[in-house]
Structure 1
Amino acid sequence: MSEDDSHKQSRREPGDGTGRSDTVVSLPSRGHSFEMVRFDRRELDQILRIYSLMVGAGEWRDYAIDHLKDRAVFSVFRRSSEIPLYRIEKNPKLARRQGAYSVIAASGMVLKRGHELSNVLKVFDKPLRIVASN
């Protein structure tokens, strides 16, 4: 088999059943691409800790994470077919002023905003109730 024949044999066409393609896709160079805002591991741990408590209490059932150019959003739902009950957002552009983190209700009202995610998430803490003893 010549070198030219082996090249033809290894070349696969799209849809040939092998699941492979020789299509080359150009990716933008590093300097020209934009970075999306993301939650880091520590932030996700804090958010998911609150999420698991609320799921256990039967208040939340689903979530979605969106990483956008200007902000990262963790949305929580009672049912996946509804609008989000709350959005936990990270917006670095607001970091120096009001704080990068905010919790936003379904109505669009900002419930809490701040520089530290742990403090912002305290909006979900349950108030203590007085229990009468018998």
Structure 2
Amino acid sequence: MPPVPPSPIPFAAREPELVRFDRTELGAILSVYGRMVAAGEWRDYAINALRDVAEFCVFRRTAEVPIYRIEKRPRLRSRQGMYAVVGEAGQVLRRGHELSAVLRHFDRKLIRPID
């Protein structure tokens, strides 16, 4: 009987890279978040890092569904833009290639008439 070659040992499967916000992106998002908290609009947030998307979720109250999600999807970089603001019902409110342009969606929420 001829010798049987050993079966190759499979390499350990690498964990897929997670998409995350970098320091400058998170700084811009937290700046908007701080202004909205000071205005009394938002109260809590959560950050999710998944394989294909990073999310910054904003809550009016802790026990609710997020009222806004700020998403980073690198796969859409060459198409519509990798940053998006998604509303409570899942509709895309703003999408773009630059985070600062996408975050301008919240600037009009801060403008209020003075009585």
From 57, 61, 65, the counterpart of 1:83 = 65
The TM-score, its normalising length taken from structure 2, stands at 0.84
Q: How many Å separate the matches in 1 of 2:66 and 2:48?
A: 12
Q: What count of residue pairs does the alignment treat as equivalent?
A: 104
Where 1:69 maps in the other structure, the secondary structure is: coil
Q: Matches of 1:37 and 1:108 in 2, distance apart?
A: 20
Structure number, greater radius of gyration: 1
* Structure 1 residues 106 and 49: CA distance shift in structure 2, 3 A: same
4+ runs of 1 displaced by more than 3 Å?
A: 127-132
Higher relative contact order (Cα pairs below 8 Å, separated by 6+ residues): 2
Distance 1:130 1:58 in 2: 15
Is 1:115 the counterpart of 2:97 in the alignment? yes
Structure 1 length as normaliser, TM-score? 0.72
1:68 counterpart = 2:13: no
2:78 equivalent in structure 1: 96
- Taking a change above 3 Å as real, the CA distance of residues 53 and 130 of structure 1, as seen in their structure-2 partners, is closer
Which ranges of structure 1 fall in alignment gaps of 5 or more residues? 1-27
The letter for the 2-side match of 1:35 is E
Aligned to 1:45: 27
RMSD: 1.9
